Structure formats: structure tokens, C-alpha cells
Structure 1
Amino acid sequence: MFIELIKSFVLGIVQGITEWLPVSSTGHMLLFDEFLQLDFPKEFTDMFFVVIQFGSILAVLVLYFDKLNPFSAKKSPAEKKSTWTLWKKVIIGCIPAGVIGILFDDLIHDLLYGPLVIAIALIVYGILFIVLESTHHTPTTTSLESLSYRKALLIGVFQTLSLIPGTSRSGSTILGAVFLGCARPVAAEFSFFLAIPVMLGASGLKVLKYGLNYTAAQVGVMIVGMVTAFVVSLFCIRFLMNYIRKHDFKVFGWYRIVLGIVVLLYFGLFAS
């Protein structure tokens, strides 16, 4: 049991870091799962990888509580209205991925979840990040308030690409937002907020599919993973927001390419 808790702790660290950086949490989890396989049924492990994301979501809610809270007594009526408008944009942005995810979740999992697809997605999106950042562009959307409903929906369309494993949810939404003319801080924050309903919904669906018949050991493993992901996410989100105010996303693009090659080599040479 102690070993499983240690594994959960490590996986929580990986989740907390890779969920918010545009480097694909799925790709990292695939590699770490090769060496840190949880000693539980596969159905529980699949659910665990999704449910520990709840810890990451709590970090967003804590860090951005004031910005996301439309009921705050500190806010003026105009500020409360602006907060409700932000939530409307988030909901609109979640519709495409929500619909596609509900309709085709099992099919996507059965057909696309494999090292080859993940590696290709890592490399392709890594190249796209480098190409996009090498192209001069002046942001036209420099605040969440100026983000239009149309642009929010289009960013949501980009988010559907994250259903392909290895793409990265934050990677697809940030890349899409920057491509659509959003400043990097706006792209990153809106990506964080889009994660709230999407990841809560995904976690809920996995729990419902698995059921509520957990052993004490399984509950302990999930709690350790979620708490770890929460704490690590707090630091990771702050790091990313500070980083992108002075730097671009090229380093993440190169990292994705290297990781994609590692995945190809490992699973081609050693795990076949």
C-alpha cells in the first residue's frame, strides 16, 4: 500500500506540472505509467488518471477565486456583470469539446490512445508552436473583457483537438487563442478557465462509469494524487503566468518534439 501511495504522489506531481504547461499530460502519464504502474485493475487506473485532474482544477479555483466569483461583495454591479460575461464565454468555449467528448469518448479512447498517436501529436504541435512563435503578430485581444463570444467559441473548437491524446488541452487552446490574436496571458488564463467545466465533466463521467465501489486503498491513492496535483498546480500556474509575460512558447515546442521522439524510440525499441 505504501508503494502505491508513493506512485500516486509522483503521478500527482506529473499531473500538476503537465496539465497547465502545453506539453501534454497524457504523453507524460503514458511514459510514467510504464515504470510506475499502479497495482490496481486497469479500469481504476484509467479513472485515476482522469480524476486526479480534479486537484488541478481546485488550484485554478483557488488562485482565480476573486476573478471567477460573480457574487463577491467586493465587486461593483459592473464588475459582477463582467464576471458573469466571462463565465458565459467559458461555457460557450466548452460546448464543442463537451459535445464531441460525450458522443465519441469511448471511440476516441479505443482508436487513438496509443504511443504512436501520442508521439505524432507531441511532435506536430511542437512544430506548430515554434512556427507560430516565429511569425510576427500583434495581439488584437489583450484582455479577457475584450475577448469576443465568437473568438471564445473558436478557441473551444481548438480545444476539441485535445481529445486526441498527446495534443495537450492547454496546448491546443493556447495555440488556438494566440493564432486568433490573443495575447499570451489572455490565452493562458482563458485556457485555465476552460479547463474547469471540461475537466470536472470528464472526471464525473469516469467516476460514473467506474461506479463508487472503491477499496480503502483506492480511496487513499486517489486522495494523495489529487492533493499532490493541487499543490503542484498552484506553483505551476504561477510559474507559467510569470514566464509568458517575458518569454514565448518556443521552449515548450522544442520540449514536445524531444518528448515525442523519446516516446517513439522507447515504445518502438523496448515496449514492442
Structure 2
Amino acid sequence: MSTLEAVIIAIIEGLTEFIPISSTGHMVIASSVMGINGDEFTKLFEVAIQLGAILAVVVLYWKKFIDFGKWQFYVKLILGVMPALILGFLLHDYIDAWLESPLIVGCTLLLGGFVLLVVDKWFQNPTITSDEGMDYFRAIRIGLFQCIALIPGVSRSAATIIGGMQQKLTRHAAAEFSFFLAVPTMAAATGYKLLKNHEVLTSSPDNIRLLLIGNVVAFIVAMLAIKFFIGTLQKFGFKMWGYYRIVVGIIIIATIFLNK
């Protein structure tokens, strides 16, 4: 992986991690186009640069994360993250195999796009305006929705936001809880990946340098993307992202079959 390739993938991660279009799916496609998708360091890099993206959430919502008096918030995050951590650990090898399939990404982007076109009509009467209005069982149910995002191309943010709306949260509250839930989820996934593949990381000094660059770029871009997404979600809902997913999904699937 070159420095330019690392920066491109990091920009994609920062732009797409918190938008319901699947950061993993877009990174898989980008690495496939650049011809580096089969490299072990690329697989590690695509997970590890999530640290930069989640740091953006912590910085933007720092008051939320250091308010230790409201310990219920941390309990909800722990309960919400447990289903994906358990299932992700059990299916780790399968997930790694799925990550190498642009066809799976194309299909899930396409199907998810149709879901986003109608999701606003499904949940029209929200009653909870912040995570403080949630009980623990709602946090667990949202966490179960997050498990769907273990399939590349589904989008963790889309799954958790839809899960939040299904649990009567407003779009804004569901999006923010999705951001909060991303922190322990991606921190755990990154830590596990680094521990399991530390030989890959330390096999070359360039790998550490590229990972540092990737995290810095992902952090800066994610800061901008989060603010942009909250604004567009409030104004336009999910439809624009649904159309985007459908177009990208069709392009990916058509490209795969035309090149066979």
C-alpha cells in the first residue's frame, strides 16, 4: 500500500463511517479498484483507521463522554455493543471472507438503498428525543440491529439508526446514539484486529507510518462528515442516501458481471 492509497482509503472511511452508505463496502470497492484488496495489511488498515473516526465522535461529543454522573449512558453503550461483539467474535473468519467479495457489497448496497427509500414512512411517530429517554432494553434491541451490519455493505450507521427509530427515537436522537454506539463497537473491533494481526503491523516500519497517517486523515474527514450528515438527515431524511446506494450498487454489480 502506498501513501496515496492509504490517504484515499482513509478519506473514504472518514466520509462514510457515520453516513448510512457503508464505510466497509466503499473501502472494499476502493481497495479492489486499486488492486490491494488481497493484501493482509490492507485488511488490517481498513479496520484500524476506524480509531481516527471514533475519536472524532469523542471530540465532538466530549461533554457526553466525560459526564460520569450520568452512568446510565455508559451502561446503555455496554448493553448496546454486546450483541455485535459476541456475534462478531463468533463469525470473525466468515466476515473476513465476506470482505473480499465486491459482489456481496454491491448486493447489500442495492437492497439497503430500497430500505432507506421507505424507512421514513415506517417510523413517523417518534416519542423519544434523546438517549436519556431510552431504557436499557431499547439499547439492547438497537444493538441487535447493529449485528446486521456485520455483513459488508449493510452499513453500521444505517442499521443502528433504523434500529433506534424502530425503538421510537427521533431521527436526530437515533443518529446520535448510533454515533455513541460506534465508539465501543469500533474500538473493540480495532483492538481485536490489531492484537490478532500485530505481526502484520510490525512487519514493516512503513505499515505503522501509513496507519498513523490514515487515522489522522480519517479523524479530520469524519469530523466534517458527522456535522454534514446530521444537517442533511434533519432536512431530507434518508431518501437521498437510498438513491445513492441503489446507483452505486447497480454500478458495482454491472461492472462485476461485465468483466467476467
Give the structure 2 partner of residue 52 of structure 1: 49
Rounded to whole Å, the distance in 1 between the matches of 2:215 and 2:30 is: 17
Q: Give the partner amino acid of 2:17.
A: E
Give the structure 2 partner of residue 257 of structure 1: 246
Give the structure 2 partner of residue 25 of structure 1: 23
Give the structure 2 partner of residue 35 of structure 1: 33
**Runs of at least 5 residues in structure 2 that lack an aligned partner in the other structure:** none
Tell me by how many angstroms 1:175 deviates: 1.4
**Runs of at least 5 residues in structure 1 that lack an aligned partner in the other structure:** 72-79
Q: For residues 132-184 of structure 1, what are the alpha-carbon distances to aligned partners after superposition, in whole Å with 9 as ceiling and x for unaligned? A: 22346111211111012111111000000000111011111111211222101
In our comparison, the structure showing a higher alpha carbon Rg is: 1
Give the structure 1 partner of residue 60 of structure 2: 63
SS at match of 1:246: helix
Rounded to whole Å, the distance in 2 between the matches of 1:128 and 1:47 is: 30
1:68-107 pair list within 5 angstroms: 68-71=65-68, 80=69, 82=70, 84-107=71-94
Q: How many residues align?
A: 258
Give the structure 2 partner of residue 244 of structure 1: 233
Tell me by how many angstroms 1:190 deviates: 0.6
1:141-180 pair list within 5 angstroms: 141-180=128-167
Q: 2:157·2:178 contact (CA, 8 Å) conserved in 1?
A: yes
More deviation, 40-49/184-193 = 40-49
Rounded to whole Å, the distance in 1 between the matches of 2:78 and 2:101 is: 30
Q: Give the partner amino acid of 2:206.
A: A
Q: For residues 224-249 of structure 1, what are the alpha-carbon distances to aligned partners after superposition, in whole Å with 9 as ceiling and x for unaligned? A: 11100000000001111222222211
SS at match of 1:142: coil
Q: 1:132·1:179 contact (CA, 8 Å) conserved in 2?
A: no
User: Sequence identity, in percent?
Assistant: 39
Tell me by how many angstroms 1:113 deviates: 4.5
Give the structure 2 partner of residue 76 of structure 1: none
Q: TM-score, normalised by structure 2?
A: 0.93
Give the structure 1 partner of residue 187 of structure 2: 200
Tell me by how many angstroms 1:63 deviates: 0.6
* RMSD over equivalenced CA pairs, Å: 1.8
Q: Which runs of 4+ in 1 moved over 6 A?
A: none
SS at match of 1:145: helix
Q: 1:113·1:165 contact (CA, 8 Å) conserved in 2?
A: no
**Gap change, CA 1:46 and 1:111, over 3 Å in 2:** closer
Tell me by how many angstroms 1:259 deviates: 1.1
Rounded to whole Å, the distance in 1 between the matches of 2:35 and 2:213 is: 16
Rounded to whole Å, the distance in 2 between the matches of 1:65 and 1:176 is: 24
Rounded to whole Å, the distance in 1 between the matches of 2:166 and 2:107 is: 21
Q: For residues 100-151 of structure 1, what are the alpha-carbon distances to aligned partners after superposition, in whole Å with 9 as ceiling and x for unaligned? A: 0111111232257412221221111111111122346111211111012111
Give the structure 2 partner of residue 209 of structure 1: 196
SS at match of 2:176: helix
Give the structure 2 partner of residue 126 of structure 1: 113
Choose the corresponding residue for 1:230, options 192, 196, 219. 219
